[in-house]
Amino acid sequence: AQSVTQPDIHITVSEGASLELRCNYSYGATPYLFWYVQSPGQGLQLLLKYFSGDTLVQGIKGFEAEFKRSQSSFNLRKPSVHWSDAAEYFCAVASRSNDYKLSFGAGTTVTVRA
């Protein structure tokens, strides 16, 4: 069964500093990979996704993620965080055969301090 691990439950970062959120997956073949963000009281919003091709994926709001097959990882990065980036971030995977069925990690809460 596929699984997604987000090792960091909570990260605090200063405004303007860089941010990296870790995501590891366990799956037999390369799945589709996603990062979502959830602000308080809001639904999940797609930041970016990887299907194939270039392993460095650019997303919205200045985020990017890099797929590393050898490490089964899909870490999310942002060079300089803004206070509005404070939210919960979810990594998700979907198999290529049942691509509508996402499996989510438990999430990482990001706090941004001034």
Q: How many Cα neighbours within 13 Å face the side chain of 112?
A: 18
Min separation Cβ 16 and other proteins, Å: 29
75 and 20 in contact (C-beta within 8 Å)? Answer: yes
Q: Pick the closer one to other proteins by CB: 99 or 113.
A: 99
In the complex, which residues of this chain contact other proteins (CB under 8 A)? Answer: 4, 6, 32, 36, 41-46, 49, 51, 90, 92, 94, 96, 98-107
Min separation Cβ 100 and other proteins, Å: 6
Q: Pick the closer one to other proteins by CB: 94 or 112.
A: 94
Min separation Cβ 111 and other proteins, Å: 17
Those residues with Cβ within 8 angstroms of residue 13's Cβ, 6 or more apart along the chain or in another chain:
19, 81, 110, 111, 112, 113
Gap between the terminal Cα atoms of the chain: 41
Q: Pick the closer one to other proteins by CB: 19 or 103.
A: 103
Min separation Cβ 112 and other proteins, Å: 22
For 72, the token pair is 């089964």
